[in-house]
A and B are shown apart, each in its own frame.
Chain A
Amino acid sequence: MSIILDHVNYVYEGDTALAVHALKDVNLVIPDGQFIGLIGHTGSGKSTLVQHLNGLLKPTEGSIYYNGEDIHAADYDKKKLRSRVGLVFQYPEHQLFEIDVFSDVCFGPKNLGLSKKETELRAYAALKQVGLEDEYFYQSPFDLSGGQKRRVAIAGVLAMKPDVLILDEPTAGLDPRGRDEILDQIARLKEETGITVILVSHSMEDVAKYVERIIVMNRGSVMYDGAPKEVFAHYRELEAVGLAAPQVTYLMQALRAGGMPVAADATTIGEAKEEILKALGKE
């Protein structure tokens, strides 16, 4: 059970002067249950890549396999794939359309052809998963705040009970509190259900705190792919392509350069704290 990308290339506006080679020979294996951060600069091909994973875009060259089946085979059921691989777009609140929050979340499961009862049960569970209080369920989605709207939109995808959840910049445009709430909820959801989560972001801090694997995209190719510690060890190269490591990585590097015997590969504040205490002999 996994997603495999085999030599995937994608060209926008093929065979015109405006052609953009958005993905160049991307090879990836995404096993079940991983929490993955996909990072890259604007225009690095992150969004293009995730749209391939649920078959919205068809690679110009190469193939994509979901659970061992080619998703672009003639007899493959794309609709089913889309219920298994849930994709939450950037600014997902822009896709809300129903008269109330609850019906909007029902849209996904209803399209799967589920019974009314099952649809509503799933919608209710999804809204609970994103932490929206009951009092909002029958309000118009357009009357909610930005953060609440986003949760409703995420719930709309969760209600389809996907095995893989992809979130494209779920925190863009939110305040720090809204950002932390959403990311914490995603982490909790991951813990409870064990689904695969792919978090697209350009914020290293967000990603480093939660994920177990980081894929760095640069100009359409995979630049690094590994555990956060391994990837952030290349912080100089990351800077060269307009990205950066988490701030604690810089702090630890500076401490080390200043003569403190700490391991410089800490990527979260907690790890850094332990390292520093250890170095000071106060465990």
Chain B
Amino acid sequence: MLRDITLGQYYQTDSVIHKLDPRVKLVATICFIVSLFVVKNWVGYAVAAVFLAVMIRLSNVPFKYMVKGMKAIVFILLITVVFNLFLTPGETLVSVWKLRITKEGLQLAVMMAVRLSFLIVGSSVMTLTTTPNSLTDGMEKLMRPLRIFKVPVHEVAMMMSIALRFIPILLEETDKIMKAQIARGADFESGNLIRKAKAMVPLLVPLFISAFRRANDLAMAMEARCYRGGEHRTKMKPLRYAARDRIAYGVLAAYFALCIVIRTCL
């Protein structure tokens, strides 16, 4: 029932992208997103598309999976396109009743749609090729300098990885409780809004209880293993850059430079 949510879902396979250091992938994703806002013309988007296509090809993840993430933003995409299409002033192409589609509007709408979908697909390349754990590891390492300002970087990273780890568990739990209540004649689908909200009680109460129970158990297990936060903690597998990571940074720098060149020269 709820299994087809791809939020932060890792796709297990072997590829160059999978093997990259999570820090590289994080920086690359941020750079890619920034680059989408740097470029302003079709040549720029073409370059971004090529870059993205190559990354997807290298990642060995079926394209289908990338597009799955798009489902969540279809609505936002639609609103953006419609607003840009009708509300941008400029040279009129078609006019129906009071609504006018302008040439500029059409251009802007298409650009926005491309930009948003690239943004989603680009970040799903990262989440699909990186396990949540190595992702938070990478974040922790990247944000390390913030410790000077007394930001509890390790604790935040730990909370994030626990939260991410719990998403699939709680989804499965929800599925199980839902089925158990349906087996007892519960109805989650029909009725008006108030009835539907009321029908959620038999689902939410056991779910919260189970979440608290799991959190408690986890805290206990962590304490039993003498966990005490980030001070003097070392890692079993510390992150180290390999040759391929340096090459990846090189490629990224080249891509970003190209984007800036396109923006300034064209």
Contact surface of A with B, Cβ cutoff 8 Å: 12-13, 17, 51, 54, 56, 79, 82-83, 86-87, 89, 92, 94-97, 107-108, 111-112, 142, 156-157, 160
Known pairs A94-B177, A95-B180; A112 contacts B206 (CB<8 A): no
Nearest CB in chain A: distance from B105 CB, A = 39
A56/B182 contact (C-beta < 8 A), A17-B62, A111-B187 known: yes
B243: interface (CB < 8 Å)? no
Contact check, B183 vs A86: say whether CB atoms are below 8 A apart. Answer: yes
B118 to chain A, nearest CB (A): 24
The A-B contact count (CB < 8 A) is 62
Residues of chain B within 8 A (CB-CB) of A96 are: 206
Which residues in window 235-266 of B have CB below 8 A to A? Answer: none
- B176 in contact (CB, < 8 A): yes
User: Among residues 188 to 221 in chain B, which have CB atoms less than 8 Å away from a CB atom of chain A?
Assistant: 201-202, 205-206, 209-210
What is the minimal beta-carbon distance from A91 to any residue of chain B, in angstroms? 9
Contact B184 A157 (CB under 8 A): yes
B179 at the interface (CB under 8 A from A): yes
Contact assessment for A97 and B183 in the assembled complex, using a CB-CB cutoff below 8 Å: no
Q: In the complex, which residue of chain A has the Cβ closest to the Cβ of B64?
A: A16
A51 to B183, CA, bound (A): 9
Count contacts on B: residues with CB < 8 A to the other chain: 23
| Smallest CB separation, A158 vs chain B (Å) | 11
Q: How far is the CA of A56 from the CA of B177 in the complex (A)?
A: 12
A13 surroundings in chain B (CB, below 8 A): 3
Enumerate chain A residues within 8 angstroms of B179, measured Cβ to Cβ.
Answer: 51, 56, 89
A17-B62, A95-B206, A97-B202 known; A107-B183 Cβ under 8 A: no
Nearest B residue to A113 by beta-carbon distance? Answer: B185
With A89-B176, A94-B210 known to touch, is A107 a contact of B205 (CB < 8 Å)? Answer: no
Q: A89 contacts which of B183, B201, B209 (Cβ < 8 Å)? A: B183
A-B contact pairs, 8 of them (CB 8 A): A17-B12, A51-B179, A54-B183, A94-B177, A97-B202, A107-B184, A111-B184, A111-B186
Query: Closest chain B residue to A166 by CB distance?
Result: B183
Q: In the complex, what's the smallest C-beta–C-beta distance from A146 to chain B, in angstroms?
A: 12
B225-243 vs A, CB cutoff 8 Å, 1 = contact: the mask equals 0000000000000000000
B7 to nearest A CB, angstroms?
Answer: 16
Distance (Å) between the CB of A108 and the closest chain B CB? 4
- Is B177 in contact with A142, judged by CB distance below 8 angstroms? no
Interface residue? B134 (CB, 8 A): no
Q: Are B185 and A79 in contact, with the CB atoms below 8 A?
A: yes
Across the interface, B181 reaches (CB within 8 A) one of A17, A95, A142, namely A95
Tell whether, in the assembled complex, residue B209 and residue A108 are in contact, meaning their CB atoms are under 8 Å apart: no
